[in-house]
Structure 1
Amino acid sequence: MVGEYVCTLSEELLQRAKEEINEVPERRADDIEHIRDWLKHQPHITARLDDWTILRFLRGCKFSLQRTKEKLDMFYTCKTLCPEWYKNRDPQDKKIRAILELGIMLPLPGHDHLGRKVILGRWGVYDPQQVSVDDMNRASLMISDILAEEDEQTTITGSVFVGDSEGMTMAHIASFTPSLMKKSMVLWQEGYPMRPKGLHYINTPAAFDTVFNIFKSFMKEKMRKRVHIHGTDMESLYRHVPKSVLPVEYGGTNGTIEEITKYWIERLDARRDWLLEDEKYVVDESKRPGKAKTSAELFGLEGSFRKLNVD
């Protein structure tokens, strides 16, 4: 068996998996094997073939075999077409280390009252003159990939994102170009087996709405309905994200930013070999049956703004 899966879920979570994402434990191995066999027959994809990677995608697609195949193809395609985010992912590289030490993206310890993982993004803590958005995204994706590897519960319960805009300047905002936003949203919505349950934004500056309207134009309708903008009203946030899961700096009781940042750097160091090896899992468009995919086709902006309303 290739990297055989060992279930770590409680009975309660297994029940939720049945009800919410159509997981049937008796059929799980067959579904994994079906997808693995399909991947082996894709001449253009060099994929991870272990049980756990495949199972994550099956769960993210509610065990639809067709959607799982499409998402896996898209995942490896996005990785290949975004080398600026997926190459040179060494946590011990000096430049990456400096970004990681800022604690820009931090999955918080434990899970919230609904069992979901809460992920904190702090977009105003880096200097846009010193750190490019591509480098910031690369560091953030390293963390989210290791989280996905190590937190099985999240594949069932999903995650909640809290974006803190404190400290964001016009220089930060200017670096989030429409093309970068489109690329991010295609990657997250089409490529990752994510189960996002809520997007919460706090400490939003005056210019936030203009930028966020562009961002929202690339979101699927289901995701748009899960967006909450709280401004500086922390009590409003606490109604959705309890203090018990938030860091001390956010009025919570769940450790400090410094402790959580240190934890994630240690996790990336421990998984350094995995991150470095991960570069080889890509697509070769010259071998794709049918028409090759291009960045312009996946991430191009033509037509995107016809439906955009910037208030």
Structure 2
Amino acid sequence: MAPNIRELSPALEKIAREELNEDPTQIQQILDQFREWIRKSPHLRARTDDQFLISFLRCSKYSLEKAKQKLDMFYTIREHSPEFFGDRDPDKMNLREFMKISSMIPIPTTWSEGSPRVILARPGGYDPDKFKMEDVMKSFLLINDLLHEEDDQMIIAGQINIVDLKGATLAHFTSFTPQHMKKMTMMMQDASPFRLKAIHYVNVPSFFEKFFNIIRQFLNEKIRSRIYFHGNDFESLFKVIPKHILPKEYGGDGDSMDNITTYWENKIFANRQFLIDQTTKYGVDEKKRIGRPKNPESLFGIDGTFRKLEID
């Protein structure tokens, strides 16, 4: 029986085969082994459809053990991060107002069939007296679930993040605790079905260096080696990411930020029940976990907030 997965473009099929160790003749057997492990893991309430599971195999380059660990962490972090995954009903999140800010959105165009998906983040775009960094992340994690469900390009070719810090002040970051930061880095490194290829920072304010030094302690060496700072020099960024794919506001040929954001806003509400289901139907029950149960302290055990920093 053939696996029930989407057919890939020739470019993505080549990457899957050469970079991710995908062998079409072995996919079904490995998926069946993956499902059997889930069935024998009483603490897991996990999706078991082929398309969902293959994303974890692909990001793990078909190491079944790594895929198991990643899927377990995918659900475990969600269970213990209510500030990001609790009550995900878009109708109750004041989401329409927040989405207008375009704080973190995927760019619809890529520069080739096999190039990574670009995510553009603009944390300085919202009023820190009205919204918090948690709101940015909670809204983007809704988008992230839709990318996970549909975007083979991002799953197979990876993602590149552009973080534009224009307008960012210390107030934008002080509500984000070290525990929040550890949760986000763990999601990115240990629980995400996406392969992060690079993070590019532009319009970097002077205070950000001390803030980033705290972020850095939570990152593994692979991610650290993929972080680049461009100061205010967009030309150096455009040497890596072709300018023409970016939105009009960045001098590119892409759609406007408003139009891209409206697209994702409408898509979130069109998939409202699906997004709610991802954390109400699925997760972990720590009482049923074989071995020592996990809890927020053992997973994220960090105290304090960035307000305690002395940043000039």
Name the TM tier (shorter chain): over 0.9
Q: Which residue of 1 aligns with 2:284?
A: 283
Q: Which runs of 5+ in 2 are unaligned?
A: 304-310
Distance 1:82 1:39 in 2: 22
CA-CA distance at 1:296 after TM superposition:
1.1
Partner of 2:290: helix, strand, or coil? Answer: coil
Looking at structure 2, the residues matched to 30 and 99 of structure 1 have their Cα atoms a distance apart, in angstroms, of: 44
Give the letter aligned to residue 282 of structure 1: G
Q: TM-score, normalised by structure 2?
A: 0.92
Cα separation, 1, equivalents of 2:179 and 2:80: 14
Other structure's SS at 1:231 match: coil
Moved more, 163-172 or 176-185: 176-185
Paired amino acid for 2:125: V
TM-score where L is the length of structure 1? 0.93
Q: 1:94 to 1:84 in 2, by over 3 A?
A: closer
CA distance in 1, matches of 2:174, 2:83: 19
1:307 aligns with: none
Structure 2 counterpart SS, 1:26: coil
Instruction: Show the counterpart of 1:83.
Output: 82
C-alpha RMSD of matched pairs (Å): 1.9
In the TM superposition, what are the counterparts of 1:112-151 in structure 2 within 5 Å?
112-113=111-112, 115-151=115-151
1:256-275 to structure 2, matched below 5 A, reads: 256-275=256-275
Structure 2 SS opposite 1:124: helix
Q: How far apart are the structure 2 equivalents of 1:172 and 1:203?
A: 15
- Give the match's secondary structure for 1:9: coil
Gaps of 5+ in 1: 303-309
SS at match of 2:44: coil
**Which position in structure 2 is the counterpart of 1:172?**
172
Quote the offset at 1:86 in angstroms.
Answer: 1.0
Distance 1:111 1:254 in 2: 10
Secondary structure of the corresponding residue to residue 235 of structure 1: helix
**Matched ranges for 1:15-54 at <5 A:** 15-54=14-53
How big is the shift at 1:56? 0.4
Q: Partner residue of 1:222?
A: 222
The Cα offsets for residues 9-61 of structure 1, whole Å up to 9 and x where unpaired, read as: 12232122111011101111111111111111111010011111100011111
Query: Which range moved further: 86-95 or 177-186?
Result: 86-95
In the other structure, the counterpart of 1:306 is: none
Distance 2:253 2:8 in 1: 26
Aligned residue runs from structure 1 range 98-247, under 5 A: 98-113=97-112, 115-247=115-247
Give the CA deviation at 1:7. Answer: 2.5
The residue number in structure 1 matching 2:10 is 11
For residues 62 and 290 of structure 2, what CA distance do their matches in structure 1 show? Answer: 25
Shift of 1:228: 0.7
Q: What is the aligned-residue identity percentage?
A: 41
Q: Distance in 1 between matches of 2:302 and 2:111?
A: 37
Alpha-carbon distance, 1:132 to partner: 2.5
Which residue in the other structure is 1:293 paired with?
Answer: 294
Q: How far apart, CA to CA, are the structure 1 residues paired with 2:230 and 2:69?
A: 35
Deviation at 1:115, TM superposition (A): 1.4
Q: For 2:90, what is the secondary structure of its paired residue? A: coil
Partners of 1:289 and 1:226 in 2: CA distance: 36
Contact 2:132 2:172 in 1 (8 A): no
Name the CA distance, whole Å, in 2 between partners of 1:20 and 1:77.
Answer: 28
SS at match of 1:275: helix
Task: State whether residues 9 and 153 of structure 1, in contact with CA within 8 Å, keep that contact through their aligned partners in structure 2.
Answer: no
CA–CA distance in structure 1, aligned partners of residues 132 and 9 of structure 2: 41
Give the Å deviation of 1:128: 1.6
Q: One-letter code of the match for 2:129?
A: Q
Using the TM superposition, give the Cα deviation of residue 90 of structure 1 relative to its aligned residue in structure 2, in angstroms: 2.0
Structure 2 counterpart of 1:241, one-letter code: I
- 1:154 & 1:136 partners in 2: Cα distance? 20
Letter in 2 for 1:68: A
Q: How much does 1:94 deviate?
A: 5.1
Contact 2:89-2:275 at 8 Å conserved across structures: yes
Cα-to-partner distance string for 1:118-150 (whole Å, 9 max, x where unaligned): 000010111122112222211111011111211
Tell me the CA shift for residue 95 of structure 1: 1.4
